[in-house]
């Protein structure tokens, strides 16, 4: 990924999990272990297709589909707590991080994620890139989540950049749809 390819944009917006952070395999470990405790099947293929969706919504959807009664928020909290113990295993997605480093203090940049703020901030800290971004928009900052555009629109608003002047770095189809709905260009970082 060549940083020079993004000079035409006024704002850069980065997803966290699977984009800045090579965290998706670690998230899957936490998901698999947590969901297994409740008898809920969550295949790796399905996991990757739901990237960007808040955890409680994933739990509620899977539990409903499989006829399992659980406290979706409680199970999601368990999964996030387990993931947080595994964060030291997370590594940088170096190509994407190189873009962020290249534009530090040159262009407004934000992180826009479907994860809770604490999880995003802990990952950015472990990756030593937290200081690169003017703002972080997390799951608790919007009512609607990917594939809805709200997280990206809120990031653009906080950066004071028109949405059509932003580019989104993403790793999931839900995120691509959200960026398109926001009127933003997007880059598939997979």
- The residues annotated as belonging to the active site are 15
- What tokens does 189 get? 């970082």
The answer to whether the beta carbons of residues 20 and 132 sit under 8 Å apart is no
From start to end of the chain, where are the E strands?
A: 11-14, 21-22, 91-92, 109-112, 135-137, 166-170, 185-188
| 115-150 CB burial, b ≥16 within 10 A, e <16 | bbeebbbbbbebbebeebbebbbbbebbeebbbbbb
Which of these, 162, 125, 121, lies nearest to 140 by C-alpha position? 121
**Within 13 Å and on the Cβ side, how many CA atoms surround 112?**
36
Which of these, 171, 179, 183, lies nearest to 50 by C-alpha position? 171
Query: Which residue is listed with tokens 């990206």?
Result: 152
């Amino acid at each position: 990924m060549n940083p020079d390819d993004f000079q035409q944009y006024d704002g850069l917006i980065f997803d966290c999990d699977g984009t800045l952070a090579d965290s998706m395999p670690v998230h899957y470990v936490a998901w698999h272990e947590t969901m297994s405790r409740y008898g809920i099947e969550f295949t790796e293929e399905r996991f990757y297709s739901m990237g960007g969706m808040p955890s409680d919504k994933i739990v509620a959807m899977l539990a409903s589909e499989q006829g399992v009664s659980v406290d979706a928020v409680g199970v999601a909290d368990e999964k996030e707590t387990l993931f947080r113990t595994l964060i030291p295993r997370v590594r940088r997605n170096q190509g994407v991080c190189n873009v962020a480093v290249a534009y530090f203090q040159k262009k407004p940049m934000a992180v826009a994620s479907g994860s809770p703020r604490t999880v995003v901030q802990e990952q950015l800290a472990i990756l030593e890139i937290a200081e690169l971004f003017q703002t972080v928009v997390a799951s608790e900052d919007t009512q609607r989540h990917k594939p809805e555009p709200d997280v990206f629109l809120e990031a653009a608003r906080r950066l004071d950049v028109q949405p059509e002047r932003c580019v989104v770095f993403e790793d999931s189809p839900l995120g691509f749809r959200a960026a398109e709905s926001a009127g933003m260009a997007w880059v598939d970082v997979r």
